[in-house]
Amino acid sequence: MRNVYFDLTREFNARGRIAILTSGQAAVFYRTAIMSKDGDWILAESAEACERILEVLAAHNARYRPGAPLDIRWLGGGWSSHFEFPDEAGRRIRCDFMTRPPRLDAAVARGYFDGPAEPGRLEVVGLEDLILMKRTQRLKDYAVIGELARLLPPEREILFTTDPDRILELVPAHGADVARLPVQVARTEATREDVAIALTRETLALQEADAHRLRVYQRAGKAYLEHLRASGITGLPLAEAHPRMLRLAEEWLPPHPPPPAEEATRGTPE
Amino acid sequence: MELLSDDDLDLRDLSDEELAAAFDLWFDLAQTTNDFDPPYTHGVFVPVRWPGRAGDQSAIE
């Protein structure tokens, strides 16, 4: 019995580190939660990395799911590429790739591919970067953030935890000089309810920021997706689908959508 | 306040092999809900709903 997504990570990286496991499967790696049926990777932003991924996926008889082509012209603009194939047991394997994951500085994402790879090590995103990526629209991600934050040293946990009780516990020793609003509230004569309300407001702001970011891509990708759906490309083998996806994207998918408004940074350490 | 149950947290006491087995078994069971999953869980196409899928009522939005 194996984790198919851990195995895919090793397969992608067999000729050099190009793919960093993130999101739900990273939460599995950190032994926080088993709640994701998909695999997500931060991909090195290079033509060679894209070529390697397509090679591996083609060997698994994968198909594109509707999304951007796996090409740095669009990945560099923050678009995502999506694939699916059945494993030998007929289970649905979904693979999603980005080179510019949300809320992660581009230099930080690039940094994952610097330096020599450690033999035998599963390439997984760091805890704090994982937490930043999980600040999505989905409420369930914030419960996972709270559990991931517990794995951090206390002076870092206070910057990320979504648990009002942990904030109250950590504030006496680690709350000074923390700009995060729920922590500032906890440093006053606040009740647990006050801290919980501040955390809820922070979560709502983060959710809205992510929703706003996605609305920009949704608008920019609408025409492309309509043409993609009509084309039947996603039912084709990758060798045939990929060049056709590129031609469609060259015509209809802007590589760089208009930049989103500044994302909510409340709770993000500076 | 514990946000996850003790059983959930017990993942940390699993060996690598036990963790892989736990995921593999869960993944098997989770296949039963595939038709009801959203088309995307990550990436920039998360809000997109594809016509013809279970639960979809609209064109590409």
Q: Is B40 within 8 Å of A96 when comparing Cβ atoms?
A: yes
Q: For residue A28, which residues of chain B lie inside 8 Å, CB to CB?
A: 11, 19, 23
ipTM of the complex: 0.83
pLDDT of A260 over the 90 cut: no
pLDDT digits (tens, 9 = 90+) for A232-254: 999 999 999 999 999 999 999 99
Q: A190's torsion region: left (phi>0), alpha (psi -120 to 50) or beta?
A: beta
Q: Are strands A38-43 and A19-22 parallel, antiparallel or unpaired?
A: antiparallel
Per domain, the residue ranges of chain B are 9-61
Q: Which of A 99-158 lie inside 8 A of B, CB atoms?
A: 136-137, 143, 146-147
**Partner residue facing A6 (CB), from B20, B22, B26:** B20
Average pLDDT of the residues in A137-157: 95
pLDDT of B46 over the 90 cut: no
pLDDT digits (tens, 9 = 90+) for A34-84: 989 999 999 999 999 999 999 999 999 999 999 999 999 999 999 999 999
Residues pairing with A82 in the sheet: A65, A96
How far, in Å, CA of A211 to CA of A258, rounded? 15
Q: Is B11 within 8 Å of A3 when comparing Cβ atoms?
A: no
Question: How far out from the chain centre does Cα A199 lie?
Answer: 22
Q: What is the pTM of this model?
A: 0.90
pLDDT value of position B42: 84
Q: For residue B25, which residues of chain A lie inside 8 Å, CB to CB?
A: 1
